[in-house]
Amino acid sequence: MAFAITQTCCADASCVSVCPVNCIHPTPDEPDFGTTDLLYIDPATCIDCGACADACPVDAIFPAGELTGRLRAYEQLNAEYYAGRDVLADVSAAPNFHRWAPPSFARVLPSDFASLDVAVVGTGPAGMYAVEDLLLHTNARVTLVDRLPVAGGLIRYGVAPDHPSTKKIGETFARFHDHPRLRLRLGVAAGADLADRHDAVIYAVGATEARRLGVPGEDLPGSLPAAAVVGWYNGHPDVAPPDLSAERVVVVGMGNVALDIARILTADPESLAVAPSVRARLRSSKVREVVLLARRGPEAAAYTRPELLELAARGGLVVDAHAGVAEAIDGAAPGEKAAWLQGVPRERVDWSAPPPDGRRIVLRFHSAPLAFAGDTEVRAVVATGDVEIPAGRVVRAAGFRGAPLPGLPFDEQAGVIPNDAGRVEGRPGVYVAGWIKRGPSGGIGANKACARETVGSLLEDAVAGRLPMRRRTVGARLFGRV
């Protein structure tokens, strides 16, 4: 019985490295890596050893024949990825083995490589993948810093509370917190003196600011950035609870974060692993309908297939069939994004009427917001297609951008710190990883390759003597070495 990879796949390729028959793709050295919704197991090649399931940090891999409920579809999704693909080598000679890439040794460290003192700022995935690389593959001493009192970053405060398997990767990262060469400093703001006290600094601080929509009324009370809602239901200490007294909430955006917000606001509070205060507010919530707005059509939706499958399987999902949306869905070929919606109920929503009884989520395509209407607070969203959607709350989930860091260059347009393979421009010994490096793209696993590139640049600079001279004894003293 072959195994199959399911919804919570983090795509960090831990499973790829342990597979004895190379049947999990795309691999990190293949063009599709980082662009697919998840990794896939070839059922024709899998030998049912279970090594991938043991290595998976988010419990996303199961025997295909044992999948039930909404996960049942993943047996077919894994098989579909390989349909018509030339993935086998000489079948007559080795039918159970894919082609192996030639061995590659991207790093070569001299035998007398001196121990480095490295500071890593941020305990989210990018920071922790960098920490893991440094501790497992070098003799570096690491100071791990986070301004929040609890470690975890995006894993703790960004992953939806009804995705506990995804949050489990935090346990993998947490095992490094007690490493003898790591010093963990929580609740501490990273100061400018980090660069003076360490041989190198890696900033992995994520993208914390909401992208502006640039529409009138965007700053009215009742208009919230996605981070304010996501942070609230995940217990972020800096986020206040939102007002949920409106019957209809409009979410601008249709990516995975938007779907998360819609799902949590319409979920049974008792089914969520959230703080008692969050559960109590969800119990008293008046929200009955969440409307997701996308400026483009269903063929270009930003959500991934696993997230949509979860939402559709739960029920209460409706597509607003206006402006040729139904025709685009019905005319889509199998495998195209629009075709994913072919089994979802549709209706022409009458926005002049109040939300129906019960709770539901409405997907409305071809509807870019033009303005948020209201005098003292948001009352409606005016969107393309000459429509005005009454709503007491609006959540802006149109993406994130990085924030400037004191003393470092910043690209205002891209929302990142300018860098070359992680090296910060004009700042020898200072590096970036994760979303502050490349922008808010890619899931958890994408940060592994990103952090590896950054650590590779750091080590290359160290070997070449390009790191500034630091007060090495300070770092050694922190670890009780002098």
Q: Pull the structure tokens for residue 4.
A: 């199959």
Q: What is the mean pLDDT of the chain?
A: 91
Model confidence at 86, pLDDT cuts 50, 70, 90, reads low
Instruction: Classify residue 429 by its DSSP letter.
Output: T
The domain that holds 221 is classified in CATH as: 3.50.50.60
Same domain, 324 and 452: no
> Do 260 and 370 fall within a single domain?
yes
Examine residue 260 and state whether it is found in any structural domain, yes or no.
yes
pLDDT at 94 over 50: no
Tokens representing 321 are 């069939």
Give residue 87's pLDDT: 52
Residues 7-16 pLDDT 10s: 999 999 999 9
Q: Is residue 159 located within the same domain as residue 73?
A: no
259 in a domain, yes or no? Answer: yes
359 plus 471 within the same structural domain:
no
Are 326 and 467 contained in the same domain? no
Peptide bond into 125 cis (omega under 30): no
Pair 45, 176 in one domain: no
Q: Do 417 and 201 meet the contact criterion of CB atoms below 8 Å apart? A: no
Q: Are the CB atoms for 142 and 176 separated by under 8 Å?
A: no
Q: Residue 89 domain-assigned?
A: no
**What is the predicted pLDDT for the residue at 474?**
46
Kindly report the number of other CB atoms within 10 A of residue 235's CB atom.
Answer: 15
CATH code for position 18? 3.30.70.20
Write down the pTM of the prediction: 0.90
Rounded Cα–Cα distance for residues 280 and 236 (Å): 17
Q: List the CATH number of the domain containing 445.
A: 3.40.50.720
Answer with the one of 351, 375, 399 that is the final residue of a domain: 399
**Range with lowest mean pLDDT among 84-93, 143-152, 216-225:** 84-93
Q: Which residue, among 256, 184, 195, 216, has the nearest Cα to 405 in the 3D structure?
A: 195
268 and 390 housed in the same domain: yes
Q: Is there a single domain that holds both residue 375 and residue 431? A: no
Structural domain including 186 reads 117-208+402-478
- Provide the number of structural domains found in the chain: 3
Question: Is 111 inside any structural domain?
Answer: no
277 and 419 in a single domain? The answer is no
Final residue before a domain boundary, out of 399, 425, 458: 399
Tokens 């707005």 locate to: 293
Residue 35 lies in a domain: yes
Q: How confident is the model at residue 30 (pLDDT cuts 50, 70, 90)?
A: confident
pLDDT value at 339 more than 90: yes
370 and 227, same structural domain?
A: yes
Please indicate, yes or no, if residue 350 is contained in any of the structural domains.
yes
One domain for residues 185 and 214: no
The answer to whether residue 149 is domain-embedded is: yes
First CA to last CA across the chain, in angstroms? Answer: 57
**439 and 361, same domain (yes or no):** no
* pLDDT at residue 473, rounded to an integer: 44
Least confident range of 28-37, 204-213, 250-259, 278-287? 28-37
160-163, long-range: CB < 8 A, 24+ apart: 160/230, 160/233, 160/234, 160/260, 160/263, 160/264, 161/233, 161/234, 161/264, 161/272, 161/273, 161/274, 162/263, 162/264, 162/267, 162/271, 162/272, 162/273, 163/8
Residue that finishes a domain, picked among 399, 428, 445: 399
**What is the rounded (10 degree) CA torsion for 451, 453, 454, 459?**
120
Question: Residue 145 domain-assigned?
Answer: yes
Question: What crossing angle do the helices spanning 226-233 and 256-265 adopt, rounded to 10°?
Answer: 50
